Amino acid sequence: MALTAPLPRVAPDEAHAHWYERVLGWAVTGGPPAQLVTGTCFDVLEMPADAGAELLRRPLVTGPVALMGRRMRFLVAAGSADELDGLLDWLEWGGVALDLTALGAGGRMTAPAPPGTAGESPRGAAVWLRPPEQGCDVLLPALPGPGQGARPDLVRLVGAAATECHRARLRRPYGSGVPLRGALDQPQRSQRFS
């Protein structure tokens, strides 16, 4: 009678890391939980979850989107993070507190469980809202050209994200650390009529 040893069990986090590396070709580091390295295959446009949810309701085509707690992360083409501040200035959002940030070269993002994995994620764990697909490049900055299909450009995505971040900030209750009315809280000047 031959003895057989069971196959070694692979920790779920380790299996997830292998999936990202083998199937998608993305760099993974650290763990647990595994961290996806930004700036090589993709950058991340990050915003509050309430603003991100509104952005997802817009008729925009986006790449993969992840949710972690109260933050939503939109994956965009590598190098896009370097463009965020300039785009916000150009779109006339510069100087407005939007809570819209980007992760680029040298950044890390918690890796959500790969799509289709069994089991439930712990509360607050990163999850995919729009998962990545094998062979799916995250190429968002290019305008759609002949034969390229529907791909949003980074300008439209950042403009829509800035608008939704601003709207979400205005919807939050006063006293939550973010002024509700902003400039309207300034003292009113009295006008004298002769």
Q: What is the pLDDT of residues 162-189, one digit of tens each?
A: 999 999 999 887 645 444 444 333 333 4
Q: What is residue 188's predicted lDDT score, i.e. its pLDDT?
A: 39
Q: What is residue 8's predicted lDDT score, i.e. its pLDDT?
A: 38
Q: Taken in order 120, 125, 129, 133, is the CA torsion positive or negative?
A: negative
Report the distance separating Cα 93 and Cα 49, nearest Å: 20
Q: What is residue 136's predicted lDDT score, i.e. its pLDDT?
A: 55
The residue with greater pLDDT, 7 or 23, is 23
- The rounded mean pLDDT for the chain is 77
Q: Write out pLDDT tens, residues 83-92.
A: 999 999 999 9
Q: What is residue 193's predicted lDDT score, i.e. its pLDDT?
A: 39
Q: Write out pLDDT tens, residues 1-20.
A: 555 544 433 345 677 888 88
Can you give the chain as a three-state secondary structure string? CCCCCCCCCCCHHHHHHHHHHHHHCCCEECCCCCEEECCCCEEEEEEEHHHHHHHHHCCCCCCCEEEECCEEEEEEECCHHHHHHHHHHHCCCCCCCCCCEEECCCCEEECCCCCCCCCCCCCCCCEEEECCCCCCCCCCCCCCCCCCCCCCCHHHHHHHHHHHHHHHHHHCCCCCCCCCCHHHHCCCCCCCCC
Q: What is the pTM of this model?
A: 0.76
Burial letters 51-62, b for 16+ CB under 10 A, else e: bbebbbeeeeeb
pLDDT at 133 over 90: no
